[in-house]
């Protein structure tokens, strides 16, 4: 190892940074432009819904209308996101399935009916040209339990989603066919979780 | 495969759901309570900052004050999150480092000074009892480039973070020592990315 002065350090850094910027600028210049994306957040880690909400709130910040369908949350849930979304009625259309988690209802026929109602609403929101982004929160759970026919959902997203519309789908166990169809897929992987250490779900963090 | 009636399907489902609920209820009953968490979002996938913003906006929805320090964003960035955060001045304290990404500035000494200023502000926000959550966006990048001494950051988070405060740190390449100290760590893994297919960063999705 050779000794070097701060000046030398700074010079080396500037050269490295210049190269980095050149590569990045070239990459960005090659982009063809905007496109409505089919985005999937899956995996067993935390952050799937939170990251989707982050994008929803970015849209709201830009004044761009969004639609949100929660497929597994009960209407009674007094969540931070529901409270904040409700402050922007001119930008947000929100549909909450209203039956809570499927393991709370213990009634398959009712779950299927609720999933169907949510999906019909989702299609309306996606077709509605006012919305730039539509979030289908926990749709993967609904698909995993076969509460909706996968083929029907895939066909709609492939053939009827407007080209400029972002659709975000969250939930663990995303179907491989959905991942295949998607433009952008992130898997959230659990590295460490405080529930294991006896900490309960907390306001602002989980809801 | 044996044929079964809808009634049988529903009964089986109800039994399974009951078991699932019992396991879940037992798990939740064992939780000891609330605790300020050190949360890390890392990995090369998308959603690290978005998921952190989702939690920040949940806090805002609940009327709980938050602090945000962006370590790599320029003041000039006209982001959706900055626009939305600015609508809640009574709940949000926002500090943006103001120099843009390090590969844009190409000046190591200036980067270090900006990182130091951001960190001093971060410590104030974390110590301030009004804030329930403080987001240190892209702090991992700053630590990776050795713009701040890792030991100093770890010591502060371990010894001086108030017990009821959530601190969220984002950015790829989180230091192993930080992961070790954290309560909740999620790795965002890239499965598929549209930049590869020539689509550029879009308003509301990336910023």
pLDDT digits (tens, 9 = 90+) for B1-23: 445 566 776 777 667 666 766 66
CB of B57 within 8 Å of any CB in chain A?
A: yes
What three-state secondary structure class fits B108?
A: helix
Q: Which of B34, B50, B125 is nearest to A41 (CA)?
A: B50
Strand A184-192 to strand B184-192: parallel, antiparallel, or no bridges (unpaired)? antiparallel
CB of B183 within 8 Å of any CB in chain A?
A: yes
Can you give the pLDDT at residue B34?
A: 76
Residue of B nearest to A58 (CA): B80
Q: Which of B77, B67, B124, B121 is nearest to B99 (CA)?
A: B77
Q: What are B195's two structure tokens? A: 């930049």
Please judge whether A33 and B199 are an interchain contact, meaning their C-beta atoms are less than 8 angstroms apart.
yes
**C-alpha distance from residue B21 to each of A2, A72, A106, B13 (Å):** 63, 14, 9, 12
Closest approach of B120 to chain A, Cα-based (Å): 23
pLDDT in tens, chain B (207 residues): 445 566 776 777 667 666 766 665 555 555 556 789 999 999 999 999 999 999 999 999 999 999 999 998 665 557 899 999 999 999 999 988 765 555 555 688 888 888 999 999 999 999 999 999 999 999 999 999 999 999 999 999 999 999 999 999 999 999 999 999 999 999 999 998 766 556 778 888 888
Which of A58, A83, A186 lies at the smallest CB-CB distance from B47? A186
| pLDDT tens by residue, A42-83 | 999 999 999 999 999 999 999 999 999 999 866 555 789 999
Residues of B in contact with A53 (CB under 8 A): 50, 53-54, 57-58
Structural domains of chain A, ranges and CATH numbers in brackets: 34-197 (3.40.50.300)
Can you give the pLDDT at residue B200?
A: 77
Please judge whether A14 and B107 are an interchain contact, meaning their C-beta atoms are less than 8 angstroms apart.
yes
**Which among B50, B83, B91, B163 is the top mutation candidate for probing chain A, defined by the most A β-carbons within 10 Å of its own β-carbon?**
B50
Please judge whether A186 and B190 are an interchain contact, meaning their C-beta atoms are less than 8 angstroms apart.
yes
> What is the distance between the alpha carbons of residues A36 and A38, in angstroms, rounded to a whole number?
7
Please judge whether B80 and A102 are an interchain contact, meaning their C-beta atoms are less than 8 angstroms apart.
no
Please judge whether A204 and B55 are an interchain contact, meaning their C-beta atoms are less than 8 angstroms apart.
yes
What three-state secondary structure class fits A59?
A: helix
CB of A47 within 8 Å of any CB in chain B?
A: yes
φ, ψ of residue A53 in degrees (nearest 5): -65, -35
Can you give the pLDDT at residue A110?
A: 83
Closest approach of A47 to chain B, Cα-based (Å): 5
Please judge whether A61 and B49 are an interchain contact, meaning their C-beta atoms are less than 8 angstroms apart.
no
CB of A149 within 8 Å of any CB in chain B?
A: no
pLDDT in tens, chain A (207 residues): 445 566 766 677 667 666 666 665 555 555 556 789 999 999 999 999 999 999 999 999 999 999 999 998 665 557 899 999 999 999 999 988 765 555 555 688 888 888 999 999 999 999 999 999 999 999 999 999 999 999 999 999 999 999 999 999 999 999 999 999 999 999 999 988 766 556 778 888 888
Are the C-beta atoms of B64 and B38 separated by less than 8 Å? Answer: no
Interhelix angle A108-127/A150-159, nearest 10 degrees = 0
Provide the chain A residues 8-37 that lie in CB contact (below 8 A) with chain B.
Answer: 9-10, 13-14, 17-18, 20-21, 24, 27-28, 30-35, 37
Number of residue pairs across A and B with CB atoms under 8 Å?
Answer: 275
Residues of B in contact with A17 (CB under 8 A): 102-103, 105-106
> HEC string of B75-89?
CCCCCHHHHHHCCCC
Can you give the pLDDT at residue A2?
A: 47
**C-alpha distance from residue B12 to each of A69, A150, B7, B136 (Å):** 28, 22, 9, 47
């Amino acid at each position: 190892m050779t000794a070097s002065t701060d000046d030398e350090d700074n010079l080396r850094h500037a050269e490295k940074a210049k190269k980095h910027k050149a590569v990045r600028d070239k990459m960005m210049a090659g982009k063809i432009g905007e496109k409505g994306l089919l985005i999937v957040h899956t995996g067993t880690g935390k952050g799937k819904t939170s990251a989707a909400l982050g994008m929803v709130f970015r849209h709201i910040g830009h004044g761009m209308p969004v639609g949100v369908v929660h497929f597994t949350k009960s209407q009674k849930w007094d969540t931070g996101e529901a409270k904040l979304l409700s402050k922007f009625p001119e930008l947000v259309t929100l549909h909450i399935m209203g039956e809570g988690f499927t393991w709370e209802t213990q009634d398959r026929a009712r779950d299927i009916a609720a999933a169907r109602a949510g999906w019909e609403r989702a299609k309306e929101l996606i077709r509605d040209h006012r919305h730039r982004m539509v979030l289908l929160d926990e749709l993967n759970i609904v698909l995993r339990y076969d509460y909706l026919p996968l083929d029907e959902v895939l066909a709609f997203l492939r053939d009827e989603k407007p080209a400029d519309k972002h659709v975000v789908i969250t939930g663990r166990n995303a179907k491989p066919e959905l991942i295949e169809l998607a433009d952008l897929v992130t898997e959230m992987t659990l590295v460490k979780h405080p529930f294991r250490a006896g900490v309960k779900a907390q306001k602002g963090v989980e809801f």
